[in-house]
Structure formats: structure tokens, C-alpha cells
């Protein structure tokens, strides 16, 4: 009987020790179970909310609770929730918010303001929300604003830094494409061509976008036959999926088959 | 006597197995259901839910599978009629800025059913800071009519079948002009 009692007490103590997780550990455990459910589903958002109840400073959960609203077109629900995450980790969430303003709201100015703020928050470090430098994203924002000089300046900064630190083959290829488009818009066809060539060089000569812009330049230079061949190539590239696009939303300056066909007709 | 003993042992084993299974099921239910419920104001629906009773143009609209409605982004191609370009051209040609001064995001959410019909609409009106703010009624009605009457929305093709999906169109408007159509 005495032995049984000892055994029972030992088990009870063990359970007590095991259940002494910190608030954060308990919140993380609930969060991990919640995200087994599809994003935005009732059980998912309830579980994530529960995790934030257990630990209201658990930034990942606070942020995650906003994401489904972002992707589903409910900005009035996304923003207040997202901004709670900003209060908990502004260094990570401000440049990230810039990325979201850029793609999900096409608010280039707000996006730039957030990317600029990240320069102040981390003066000796270039932030890279969603895997790309804020300079790359600013290049895109300024292109969206049709401020081509600033767009080129930021793409220069991004590309040169990347070349210096890792080599040209580490540069995100669409930086060449977008810098090419910015040059194209300013009428600097020579620089534009160099950038489109780079885009093609690093994408195994497969890019409907680069070929589409190159064909326009060739047409402008009177090289109609070369332009015709190139637009045919661009159509082929597009048909096998080699065109600039992104998940969830249309990308900036997205090229469509009808654009390619229109140029083809123009060249006839 | 011996048979009785065997039955007794089998009964004990069966009992233990049943209790173990019940504990396992109960534990699973607790961990993946009960323990995930917030103490304050749990959500009663998914984030994308549109209440059919309050939705616009829901009468006569049927979804093919109420228990599984996907999201527009579950496949790479956006489901706009005649592609994004085609839809943008359709809207830009038909929309008339009747001296509106409004700025903000007019978001129209709805369901595209597996046959490409659209219904169960809901409208969200926000200013450019993404805060609730009402638009001019005429502007709102014009864009709602154009969006809901567009023909050729594409059903999402997922797991070898055309399926229902939630979709939204966000019009970014500056001084009455449509400056962006998202997504």
C-alpha cells in the first residue's frame, strides 16, 4: 500500500513538472495545433486567437491572425490586427507591411514609407521582407509611381550590393527586368537592352517579358524581322509558363498573351 | 473453470483497449478542438464566411458544395472574365466618374460556383488608410453592378474538378478614378 502511494505521488509530481510550461511554450503549442487547420478556417483562427490569449506578446500568432483577412480582401480586419504585431516587433513587421502595402493594396507611397522606416530601425542592415532587399522592393514601388529615376537608383543599389556580396548570379532576375523596363520608359533603349539581356542570361533565355520589351525596342530601331522572330519566341515562352507573375495578385507590369499578340499584329 | 478465467482475462484486455482508445480519442478531441477555443468571443465562422441571409444577389444562387468552398488563389490563374486585362478593360470602358470625389478601396467579395455563376456578394468600403468609410452610393452601385453582371468568371479547377471559390475584387479609387484593380 505504501509503495502504491509512493508511485502515485511520483506520477503526480512528474505531471506537475511536465505541466509547468511557460506561457510562451503553451501559446506556441496551441498555435502549432491551430495551424494544422486550413488558413482562415474557423478552427484555425480560433486556435490562433487562443494562443494570443495565453500570451498576448506572442508576435507570430498575433501576426498570423491577420493573414487570412489580407488574402481575402478584408482590409478593415487585416490592418488593426497586423498593427498589433507591429507594436510587438516593429523591426520585422514594418518592412514586411511595406511589402504587403505594395502587393495587396498597390499603395506605393505607404510601402516606400515603411521601407524607408526600416532604414532607420536597422541602420546597419538592409532588411529583406519576403526574401528580397527593401531596395529591390523600393525599385518596384518607384516603377509603380512612374518615378523611373528613383526606380533605377534603387535597382542599382540592390544589384550592386548583391554583386559585391554574393555575385551577379545571386541577383533576383526580375530586378534586371524591372530596371530594363524603367530604362525603356525613359527612352534609354541601350541600357534597357543590357538589362533585358541580363534577365535572359540568368533565366536560360526563357522570358516572355524580356523578349516582349526587346521586340519593342527592335521595332523602334527599324529591325522588324528580328522583332517578329523575337515576339514569336516570347509567345512560345509564355505558353510554357516563362513569364513574370506572382501568387495571390497580379504582378507589376504583368504581360498577357493579348499584349504579345497585339505586338505581333503590329509587326505584320 | 478454465474457460471462465480465459473470458475474464479477455474481458480485462478488451476493457483496457476500450479505455485506451477512449482516452486517445478524448485527448485528440481536447487537443485539436476544445483546447483551441478562445475564452473570449470565439469566432463562429471562418474568416471568409459570407452570411447567405445578408448577402446580395444570393437568391437563386447555388454553390455546388457548401462544405468545401476554395479560395481564388488556390490555383495560379486568376479567375477574371477574359483574363485580368479583359476585365480591367471592361471596367475602365464602362465606369463613369460622375464627378465623384471619393478615395478609398471598394472591395466586393463573392463566390464563383463550380459552373462559373457568381453570387452571395458582400461589399466592404474603406478609405485609403483601410478604415471603414462609406462611398458615394452611385459610385458603389455602379461598380457593384459592373462586377456582378460581368460574364465569364472562371470556376477554380482543383483536384480534377471545377469547384466553388471565394473571390474578391478591390477597386482602389482616388478622387473618383479607378487607379488599381486588385488582386
Distance from CA of B32 to the nearest CA of A (A): 6
> Are A17-88 and A172-268 the same fold in CATH?
yes
User: In sequence order, which residues have a C-beta less than 8 Å from that of residue A125 and are 6 or more positions away?
Assistant: none
- C-alpha pair distances (Å), A1 with each of A5, A6, A9, A11, A15: 6, 9, 12, 15, 21
What digits encode the pLDDT tens for the residues B94-149? Answer: 999 999 999 999 999 999 999 999 999 999 999 999 999 999 999 999 999 999 99
- Res. A17 pLDDT band, cuts 50 70 90: low
Distance from CA of B71 to the nearest CA of A (A): 8
User: In sequence order, which residues have a C-beta less than 8 Å from that of residue A167 and are 6 or more positions away?
Assistant: none
Report ipTM (2 d.p.): 0.91
Q: Is the Cβ of B81 closer than 8 Å to some Cβ of chain A?
A: no
What digits encode the pLDDT tens for the residues A68-119? Answer: 999 999 999 999 999 999 999 999 999 999 999 999 999 999 999 999 999 9
What digits encode the pLDDT tens for the residues A194-241? Answer: 999 999 999 999 999 999 999 999 999 999 999 999 999 999 999 999
- Tell me which of 1.25.50.20, 1.25.40.10, 1.10.357.10, 1.10.10.10 is the CATH number of domain A172-268: 1.25.40.10
Q: Is the Cβ of A74 closer than 8 Å to some Cβ of chain B?
A: yes
What digits encode the pLDDT tens for the residues A236-261? Answer: 999 999 999 999 999 999 999 999 99
Distance CA A203, CA A200 (A): 5
Q: Is the Cβ of A131 closer than 8 Å to some Cβ of chain B?
A: no
User: In sequence order, which residues have a C-beta less than 8 Å from that of residue A30 and are 6 or more positions away?
Assistant: A47, A50, A51, A54, B35, B36
A46 → closest Cβ in B43, B83, B170:
B43
Contact call for A75 and B107, based on CB within 8 A:
yes
Chain A positions touching B32 (Cβ under 8 A) are 33, 36, 43
**Count of CB atoms within 10 A of residue A120's CB?**
8
Chain A positions touching B179 (Cβ under 8 A) are 106
Nearest to A75 by CA among B181, B125, B102, B43: B125
User: In sequence order, which residues have a C-beta less than 8 Å from that of residue B29 and are 6 or more positions away?
Assistant: none
Q: Is the Cβ of A54 closer than 8 Å to some Cβ of chain B?
A: no
Peptide bond into A93 cis (omega under 30): no
pLDDT of amino acid A133: 97
A71 → closest Cβ in B37, B73, B76:
B73
Contact call for B84 and A50, based on CB within 8 A:
no
Q: Is the Cβ of B33 closer than 8 Å to some Cβ of chain A?
A: yes
Asked if the model's pLDDT at residue A164 lies above 90, the reply is: yes
Chain B positions touching A258 (Cβ under 8 A) are 83, 85-86
Asked if the model's pLDDT at residue B75 lies above 80, the reply is: yes
> In chain A, what are the domain boundaries?
17-88, 172-268
User: In sequence order, which residues have a C-beta less than 8 Å from that of residue B26 and are 6 or more positions away?
Assistant: none
Chain A positions touching B89 (Cβ under 8 A) are none
When the pLDDT of each residue in chain A is averaged and rounded to a whole number, the result is 95
Contact call for A72 and B37, based on CB within 8 A:
no
Distance CA A211, CA A237 (A): 9
- Tell me which of 3.90.550.10, 1.10.230.10, 3.20.10.10, 1.25.40.10 is the CATH number of domain A17-88: 1.25.40.10
- Res. A9 pLDDT band, cuts 50 70 90: confident
Tell me the pTM: 0.91
Amino acid at each position: 500500500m505504501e509503495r502504491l502511494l509512493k508511485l502515485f505521488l511520483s506520477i503526480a509530481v512528474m505531471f506537475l513538472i511536465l505541466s509547468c510550461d511557460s506561457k510562451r511554450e503553451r501559446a506556441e503549442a496551441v498555435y502549432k495545433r491551430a495551424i494544422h487547420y486550413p488558413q482562415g478556417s474557423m478552427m484555425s483562427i480560433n486556435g490562433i486567437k487562443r494562443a494570443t490569449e495565453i500570451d498576448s506578446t506572442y508576435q507570430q500568432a498575433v501576426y498570423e491572425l491577420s493573414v487570412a483577412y489580407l488574402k481575402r480582401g478584408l482590409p478593415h480586419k487585416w490592418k488593426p490586427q497586423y498593427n498589433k504585431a507591429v507594436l510587438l516587433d516593429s523591426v520585422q513587421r514594418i518592412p514586411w507591411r511595406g511589402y504587403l502595402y505594395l502587393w495587396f493594396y498597390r499603395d506605393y507611397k505607404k510601402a516606400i514609407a515603411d521601407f524607408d522606416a526600416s532604414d532607420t530601425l536597422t541602420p546597419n542592415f538592409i532588411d529583406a521582407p519576403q526574401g528580397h532587399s527593401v531596395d529591390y522592393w523600393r525599385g518596384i514601388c518607384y516603377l509603380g509611381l512612374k518615378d523611373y529615376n528613383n526606380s533605377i537608383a534603387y535597382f542599382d543599389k540592390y544589384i550592386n550590393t548583391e554583386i559585391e556580396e554574393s555575385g551577379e548570379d545571386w541577383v533576383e532576375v526580375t530586378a534586371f527586368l524591372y530596371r530594363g523596363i524603367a530604362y525603356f520608359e525613359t527612352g534609354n533603349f541601350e541600357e534597357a537592352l543590357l538589362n533585358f539581356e541580363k534577365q535572359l542570361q540568368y533565366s536560360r533565355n526563357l522570358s516572355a517579358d524580356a523578349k516582349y520589351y526587346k521586340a519593342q525596342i527592335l521595332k523602334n530601331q527599324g529591325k522588324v524581322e528580328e522583332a517578329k522572330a523575337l515576339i514569336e519566341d516570347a509567345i512560345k515562352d509564355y505558353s510554357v509558363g516563362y513569364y513574370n507573375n506572382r501568387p495571390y495578385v497580379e504582378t507589376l507590369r504583368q504581360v498577357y498573351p493579348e499584349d504579345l499578340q497585339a505586338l505581333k499584329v503590329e509587326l505584320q | 473453470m478454465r474457460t471462465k478465467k480465459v473470458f475474464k482475462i479477455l474481458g480485462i484486455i478488451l476493457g483496457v483497449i476500450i479505455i485506451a482508445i477512449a482516452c486517445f480519442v478524448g485527448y485528440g478531441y481536447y487537443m485539436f478542438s476544445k483546447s483551441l477555443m478562445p475564452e473570449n468571443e470565439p469566432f463562429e465562422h471562418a474568416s471568409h464566411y459570407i452570411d447567405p441571409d445578408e448577402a446580395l444577389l444570393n437568391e437563386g444562387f447555388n454553390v455546388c458544395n457548401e462544405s468545401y468552398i476554395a479560395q481564388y488563389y488556390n490555383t495560379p490563374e486568376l479567375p477574371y472574365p477574359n483574363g485580368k486585362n479583359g476585365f480591367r478593360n471592361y471596367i475602365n470602358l464602362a465606369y463613369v466618374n460622375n464627378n465623384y470625389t471619393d478615395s478609398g478601396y471598394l472591395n466586393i467579395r463573392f463566390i464563383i460556383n463550380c459552373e462559373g455563376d457568381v453570387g452571395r456578394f458582400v461589399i466592404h468600403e474603406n478609405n485609403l488608410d483601410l478604415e471603414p468609410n462609406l462611398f458615394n452610393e452611385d459610385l458603389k452601385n455602379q461598380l457593384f453592378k459592373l462586377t456582378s453582371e460581368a460574364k465569364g468568371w472562371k470556376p477554380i479547377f482543383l483536384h480534377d474538378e471545377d469547384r466553388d471559390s471565394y473571390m474578391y475584387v478591390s477597386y482602389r479609387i482616388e478622387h473618383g478614378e479607378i487607379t488599381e484593380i486588385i488582386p
